[in-house]
Structure 1
Amino acid sequence: MLLSLLDRSRTRADSDDAEALEATVARAVHAEAVDYERFWVAEHHAVPGIASGTPTVLLAAVGARTSRIRIGSGGVMLPLHQPLVVAEQARLLDALHPGRVDLGLGRSLGFTPPVRQALRRELDEPDTFEDDLRELRGYLEDTAAVTVRPVTGRVVPMHLLATGRGLAVAARLGLPVVVGGPALDSDELPGLLATYRRDFRPHRGSEPRVTVSLDVLVADDDATARELALPEAWAMARSRQTGEFAPLESVKAIRDQRWPDQVRRRVESSLDRAVAGTPSSVARRLERLVERTGAAELLASSSTHDRDALLASDRMLRDLVA
């Protein structure tokens, strides 16, 4: 199984956003050094806990500091952009970093109503996602009426971040899929993936391909790994109470606070579901996941407050899968 990283440029309560972006670039350099396949970054707008809303700009910085690892978006939210502009950005990255660029695409809108209003995109607008994907592919493959510059002679690969409806779109368009989030825990997932593979219509020789994306944290013992997973679990639980996805806090700061009963239940439930533990325990969880999904690649989206511990976890995960 191939192994890649998705870094969301998570902010920390005790540092500024610029440090989060610098840490993303440093993590990409480390990922290349320990031989990860890809390094992807994400698009989230006006979220306090995430520093980057423009993956293509951040990828230019990542590509400049690396030389071999594939770089990509996980993903560009296509409903928020014109397909021509997305194609231009992808091609510019490919011209700067030849043959290393992946274009992961999603359909999510803004996190809150004010953000969606600022993006000029409301939930009740017509769904043009599939048509936009076809238009974008036409630009990338030079089959559209408009020729996108710069011309590189290469086609930037498209990947679709997909759930149930997205899997059907990917099958019709002959695209590889990235599956993550709550969909991974769904009892329906194996059947949905079987349908995706059955209905897949090849495009230029493409074949059905599944990447699974989830948080994975590895440490020398299970208790330490569980502590590494705590900051993200805490932020997620608190966001459901406050409506704001906040920067990561240190384990000590979290332990020193009062835990409302509902938050405690949510945190404990999240930690129980987390793929966090020793190399052997994580290996067993990943083996079951691959058996269940037939995934060809793992896109680890892990984050924690302690950046040194995160790099150590990345290295242990790479050694485990290798």
Structure 2
Amino acid sequence: MTTFDRIPATARVPLSLLDRANTRRRGGVAVEPSQILADVITRAQAAEALGFHRFWVAEHHAVPGIAGSAPTVLMAALAARTERIRIGSGGIMLPDHQPLVMAEQIATLQALAPGRIDAGLGSSVGFTAPVPRALRQDDSARFDAGDQARELIAYLDDRHDDGAEVTAQPADRSQTPLFVLASSRSIPLAAQLGTGVVVGGPGLMAAARDADPGEHHEGIATYRRDFVPSEHRRQAPWVVVAVSVAVADKAEDAAQLALPEAWALTRSRTVGSFEPLQPVDELDLAGLSDRERRRLHEHLDQVITGTPDQVREQLERLIDFAGADEVLVSGGMADPAAQRRSDELLAQVWGV
């Protein structure tokens, strides 16, 4: 065992936040989008003060429950209102954009906030079928994500020999760290491109829970083995584990914090739309069908909840299984004050 292995995860693995800009509704009244986005900025400022490593925002189109549809625009606002914390996208969905335009936006952000911008790259083509049509995409678009990523990187690296037919302005000069938001197919893509990788989702959580002591994630081990460093951006292998987390002083209170988002995810499978988050006392839990109840518990099983010490223990187990270099905490809450308290407790117990 090396000295590094003996250091607790809380002392060596940085902690970051992903905010999807979840919309909220209380008493049937929706919170205005301006307030939702202002809350995201306030949370980023608090995250900086607490010592979190990064603050990322997401991209979802035409989803009533999420106001985060334009990550690069929101990133500019966040960078302007913070000073030190890294700002990034979790992620920019490549099929939805022209690679040159994305390269220009990323490079502009980097010029505005030098040394603080990250770009997470995804391949989703929309939550429901009308969305990709509105974005002028078809079902095959997600399978072109590798080529789109290579073209984007060529513009950021100014590599005319690798697909960049023009020089993107402003020039990024390979300064922006890149991360692939991974599925089982795209973990190898991250290794081929020489980027960081973000892993998460039900498969990872289930595998971590079922793993024997000392067992590790096979796909992540393959990523490290097959990683091809880029001579231009010089990124090393970097594994970010994304997981929903809710922390409270009492375990039962933390479990309640995770309910509104799990409810919205469950209902989305029935009504076809992810709706704004509602307080627990406004959820019709008794009206769930047996199938919906099973789905609700499945979603809750993907969330790490508990007291600070309980959450730390669960995160350390996940880190050990995944061999993670960083944890990206996601998950939305219906109560902004409880969200702030959760962030504070997590930062305290992690020692960020």
Give the TM-score band, short-chain normalised. over 0.9
**In structure 1, what residue type is equivalent to 2:296?**
V
What residue is the counterpart of 2:22 in the other structure? 10
The structure 2 residue matched to 1:161, chosen from 175, 181, 187, is: 181
User: Aligned to 2:217, what secondary structure does the other structure show?
Assistant: helix
Matched-pair contact (CA < 8 Å) for 2:106–2:119: yes
Structure 2 unpaired stretches of 5+: 1-12, 209-215
Letter in 2 for 1:7: D
**1:154/1:67 CA distance change after superposition, 3 Å:** farther
Q: Distance in 2 between matches of 1:108 and 1:151?
A: 27
Which of 127, 131, 138 is the matching residue for 2:154?
Answer: 138
Q: How many residues align?
A: 322
Query: 2:278 aligned with 1:249, yes or no?
Result: yes
Q: Which amino acid aligns with 1:304?
A: M
Structure 2 residue 190 is the aligned partner of structure 1 residue 174: no
Structure 1 residues 251-279: Cα deviation after superposition (integer angstroms, max 9, x where no partner): 11015763333322322333344201001
2:226 to 199, 202, 212: 199
Q: 2:323 aligns with which of 294, 300, 304?
A: 294
Question: Match of 2:242, SS?
Answer: strand
Greater mean deviation of Cα atoms: 239-248 or 252-261? 252-261
Q: Does 1:53 align with 2:69?
A: yes
Give 3-state SS (helix, strand or coil) of 1:281's partner.
Answer: helix
For residue 187 of structure 1, report the CA deviation from its aligned partner.
3.5
Superposed CA RMSD: 1.7
Encode CA deviations 1:196-236: one digit per residue, 9 max, x unaligned: 11111121343221000011111101100001011011111
Structure 1: stretches of 5+ with no match in the other structure: none
Range with greater deviation from structure 2 (72-81 or 144-153) = 144-153
Q: Is the aligned partner of 1:280 residue 2:304? A: no
Partner of 1:178, secondary structure, is: strand
Partner of 1:321: 350
CA contact 2:244–2:302 (8 Å) conserved in 1 = no
User: 2-side partners of 1:158 and 1:261: how far apart?
Assistant: 42
Shift of 1:192: 1.0
Q: In structure 2, how many angstroms separate the alpha carbons of the residues matched to 1:220 and 1:139?
A: 48
**Bigger mean CA offset, 186-195 vs 243-252:** 186-195
Instruction: Give me the whole-angstrom Cα distance separating, in 2, the residues matched to 1:27 and 1:116.
Output: 31
1:190 aligns with 2:217: yes
| Offset of residue 171 of structure 1 | 1.1
1:127-158 deviation line (CA, Å, top 9, x unaligned): 32222212111211222342221236562111
User: Corresponding residue for 2:212?
Assistant: none
TM-score normalised according to structure 1 size: 0.95
Q: What is the DSSP-based 3-state SS (H/G/I as helix, E as strand, rest coil) of the residue aligned with 1:124?
A: helix
For 1:219, the aligned partner's letter is: A
Partner residue, 2:10: none
Percent identity reads 48
Secondary structure of the structure 2 residue equivalent to 1:6: strand
1:18 and 1:51 in contact (8 A); partners too: no
CA distance in 2, matches of 1:186, 1:175: 25
So what's the TM-score if we normalise by structure 2? Answer: 0.87
> Secondary structure of 1:127's match?
helix
Aligned equivalent of 2:140, options 99, 108, 124 = 124
